[in-house]
Amino acid sequence: MKLTSKFCGLNFKNPLVLASGVLGVTGETLLKVIRNGAGGVTTKSIWLKAHKGHKNPVMFSCGEVFMNAVGLSDAGFEKAKEEITIFKKKSSQPLIVNIVASKIKDFGLLAKKISTLNPDLIEVNISCPNVEDEFGKPFACDIFSAEKVVKIIRKNTKNNFSVKLSPNVNNIGEIAKACEAGGANAITAINTVGPGMRINIETKTPILKNKVGGISGPGIFPIAIKCVNDIYRSVKLPIIGIGGVKSGEDAIEMMMAGASLVGICTGVYLRGISVFKKVCQEMEKWSKKNNIKSLSEIIGSVKID
């Protein structure tokens, strides 16, 4: 089976993309991910101006669960411009640029600036729990706020954009509908679950300096599958499915739930940067065994009465 995929008019050599995270900071790192088999890459969340984030320690791993409270640290638009330019000069593979803001108007300003860099797709992060204490409830947790962000993005760019949603809501399908109504071209789901907390029992203190952090990794995979399927059954927009994917079988399952592309982040930590090549090989093996000729046979194929 050929793994080539089309998403929002873009051609991907395979449906696996680097999800937004620590590997998306520099142009050279993004290029390295492409060389290791990813069909596309996503930058770390970019702010209009430099954002400090949280103090170390900001990450913690325990088996099937990974926690982070990086706090979306970033050098701001001007530095991101340099790194995006480096990537685009050396690669023609799809680049998804993730943006974040604390105010609705700033989403509009940043979307306009990012559009001048000609990204293949903009990803709008309205769902990160790591800044919840700093700015209040994430925009993704309220239908009206989510739609307001989407509408201001739509007014400020002609680029296609995907909205990254949070699993920490009662009905993610309704949030997706609001984004569709506002003019979004796609949905990315899910962001981290939580926040959660772990305690160092020797010091009786939280392991993360921020006390709490977003939860990712294989432990949240079942939540991601349900959220993606809820969105798939609620809107007509294509979906980038993210959350705990680490194998070819996981990627197939995510696509059966309704995803057209599959994002991998913690999987890089668990299996190394070659995880993209490994997952593609596992997808091809499974497809050959099950006589699958095209990805279109898989997407949204889960049978729910």
Residue with tokens 């926040």: 195
Where do the domains of the chain lie? 5-297
Per residue in 120-143, pLDDT (tens digit) is 999 999 986 544 444 556 788 889
Burial 67-95 (b: 16+ CB within 10 A, else e): bbbbbbbbbebeebeebbeebbeebebbb
Confidence of residue 226 (pLDDT cuts 50, 70, 90): very high
Query: Is the CA virtual torsion 278, 282, 288, 289 positive or negative?
Result: positive
* DSSP reduced 3-state for 264: strand
* Cα–Cα distance for residue pair 94/42, rounded to 1 Å: 9
In a 3-state reduction of DSSP, which class is residue 174? helix
Query: If you average pLDDT over residues 56-71, what whole number do you get?
Result: 88
CA–CA gap between residue 261 and residue 238 (Å, rounded) = 8
Contact 295, 1 (CB under 8 A): yes
Q: Residue range 255-273: average pLDDT?
A: 95
How far is Cα 66 from Cα 214, in angstroms, rounded to an integer?
Answer: 8
Residue positions annotated with a catalytic role: 128
Supply the DSSP string of 70-137, one letter for each residue: ----B--HHHHHHHHHHHHHH--S-EEEEE--SSHHHHHHHHHHHHTT--SEEEEE---GGGHHHHSS
Residue type for 38, please? A
- Checking if the pLDDT of 38 tops 50, the result is yes
pLDDT at 83 over 50: yes
By the 8 A CB rule, do 74 and 51 touch? yes
Instruction: Confirm if 264 and 257 have CB atoms less than 8 A apart.
Output: no
CB 259 within 8 A of CB 241: yes
Specify the range with the lowest mean pLDDT, choosing from 130-134, 161-165, 262-266: 130-134
Residues 251, 237, 305, 173: what is their CA dihedral angle, to the nearest 10 degrees? 100
The yes-or-no verdict on residue 258 having pLDDT over 50 is yes
Residues 235 and 170: their CA atoms lie apart, in Å, by: 17
> Which CATH number among 3.40.50.200, 3.40.50.920, 3.20.20.70, 3.30.950.10 corresponds to the domain 5-297?
3.20.20.70
Residues 174 and 225: beta-carbon distance below 8 Å? no
Asked if pLDDT for residue 265 goes beyond 70, the answer is yes
